[in-house]
A and B are shown apart, each in its own frame.
Chain A
Amino acid sequence: MKRIFSRWSAQDLVVIGVFAAASKVTTLLVALAGGGMNPISLMGKNLVFTMLLVVMLCRVNRPGTLFLFTVINMIVSMLLLGASVTLLPPILISALAAELAMLAMRDSTSVGTKVLGAAVFDIVSKVGSLGLSWLFMRENPAMMLMVVPFVAIGYLGSIGGLFTGVKAVKELRHAGIIRQ
């Protein structure tokens, strides 16, 4: 158990914490700047999140990083931001699926592998969040019809985030900030 917990250095853990905070604040900022849940801010919010995820995965190049990032995000959201406990299973499943997809790739350190991990995480978590929305709004199925297009639009932003993430990683490598 101790070996699992000590695989990340203090520097890696700090990077994960900073990126968790950055993703929380920037997604909130984009949502507020766009005046709520309009299609552009929804896409922008998801684009920024996925891009940060790809950059973080390339910066902390160790298996299990995405899972740890998700666990930390969920712990802080549950304890301090009032996120529901029911969010935990779908998010953890999506993080595990993404980790398995990355492990299955031959070259686990390449940018392509990280992009695949982020893509799997996005799609599984979106499907999971739809299931969870049904659980919350089961008394009024019409509200679910409103949620599905919003999630689909958000997913388009996530796909855009994969491309911008690759571009950002290239620039950061060129600048010498990401060394691997």
Chain B
Amino acid sequence: MQASSVSSRFEAYAAESDSSVKMDARSRMAVSLFMSAVTVCISSVEGQAVLLVASFLYVLSIRRWKAVGIAYAFLAVMMCIAVLLTYGISLLTPIMPFSPRGIAVPFMRSAEMMNVVLPLALTCRIQELLTALKGLRLPFCIYIPAAVMIRFIPTFMHDIRQVAETLKIRGYSLTFGEMFRHPLMMLRLMFTPLLFRSLRTSEELGMAAELKGLESGSCFVPFRTQQWAKRDTALVLLAVAVAALALYVHFKFGTVPTRGMR
């Protein structure tokens, strides 16, 4: 029963993965890096709108409707809070008038970044990310900690869950209210075991790395090799074309919001 449920879950995951076009992690990384630079340069609503539409189509291409919906709902809540606070500040300080166009641009930037990061986060597995990092030919002293960091994050989350369960068994309630009533005690209870676990894990992993002969200049053989396909080149070129179009729209038709800087 258990095996069949695992197998059906795996099949569902595989079907979900296959439904979106499989891209190289490096191309998705390049797109997110490129977008983070372009979005800062453009300060008009028109230019940002071009980027937002293109990035929205990109995030829809992965076909993870539920995850995208949750992310957008979270962004909408954050936006509502920020609009209310900004409106309040503008009422108190008349030199800073409230402008819907002015507040739209920072949130368009956030939405664009979310649109380019979600495909990377939702479609790439840890092994693919590690292989992609290896493919970037980073120096040994950067590759090893970066690989450990990516590999250790799920383990660390598992550790946090275990510590939380242990605390619950011992009678501590880890609720939102408790965090407010006893913040220092909650930090100490959660954090001290995690610090010890981190130090212990780093010692074990470090010894394992030394025993395996990992040192500067050693040759790594990736578990799986990744292929840079034509569709990856097409994705990067498309991102460049969208950026060029957005810059053109920004300089030709863009109106910069109040106090904005071109």
Q: Assess the A172–B199 pair: CB atoms within 8 A.
A: yes
Give the Cβ gap from B90 to chain A, nearest Cβ, in Å: 6
The answer, among B90, B114, B216, B260, for a CB contact under 8 Å with A138, is B260
**Contact residues in B for A16 (Cβ distance below 8 Å):** 145
Which residues of the partner chain A approach B121 to less than 8 Å between Cβ atoms?
80
Q: Which of B50-107 contact A (CB under 8 A)?
A: 82, 85-86, 89-90, 93, 96, 98-99, 101-103, 105-106
Q: Contacting chain B: which of A22-30, A91-99, A103-111?
A: A22-30
Contact in complex: A84, B146 (CB < 8 Å): no
Q: Is the CB of A29 within 8 A of B32?
A: no
In the complex, how many angstroms separate the beta carbon of B217 from the nearest chain A beta carbon? 7
| Contacting residues of chain A (27-58) with chain B, CB-CB under 8 angstroms | 29-30, 33-35, 40-41, 43-44, 47-48, 51-52, 55
Complex contact A142–B144 (CB within 8 A): no
Chain B, interface SS category = helix
User: CB distance A17 to B216 under 8 Å?
Assistant: no
- The reply to whether B36 and A11 form a contact with Cβ atoms under 8 Å apart is no
Contact B202 A19 (CB under 8 A): yes
A156 at the binding interface (Cβ < 8 Å): no
List the A side residues contacting B29 at CB < 8 Å.
79-80
B259 lies within 8 A of A138 (CB): yes
Check if A142 sits within 8 Å of B36, measured CB to CB.
no
**Is A138 a contact partner of B160 (Cβ separation < 8 A)?**
no
Known: A22-B198, A55-B195. A72 touches B145 (CB 8 A): yes
- Which of A19, A55, A71 gathers most chain B CB within 10 Å? A19
Known contacts A8-B141, A142-B98, A143-B106; A79/B33 CB under 8 A: yes
Encode B223-262 as 1/0 by CB contact (under 8 A) with A: 0000000000000000000000000000000001111110
Q: For the complex, is A151 an interface residue (Cβ under 8 Å from B)? A: no
Contacts A8-B141, A140-B106 hold; do A17 and B149 have CB atoms under 8 A apart?
Answer: yes
Most buried by B among A15, A16, A25, A82: A82
* In contact, B217 and A6 (Cβ under 8 angstroms): yes
Q: Return B218 CB to nearest CB of chain A, in Å.
A: 9
Decide if B116 is an interface residue (CB 8 Å cutoff): yes
A139: chain B residues within 8 A (beta carbon): 43, 99, 101-103, 105-106, 256-260
Please give the residue numbers on chain A whose beta carbons come within 8 Å of chain B beta carbons, in ascending order.
2, 5-22, 24-26, 29-30, 33-35, 40-41, 43-44, 47-48, 51-52, 55, 59, 68-69, 71-72, 75-76, 78-86, 135-143, 145-146, 168, 172, 177
Give 9 nearest A-B pairs by CB, closest first: A17-B148, A11-B206, A82-B117, A17-B145, A6-B216, A140-B102, A18-B202, A10-B209, A14-B206
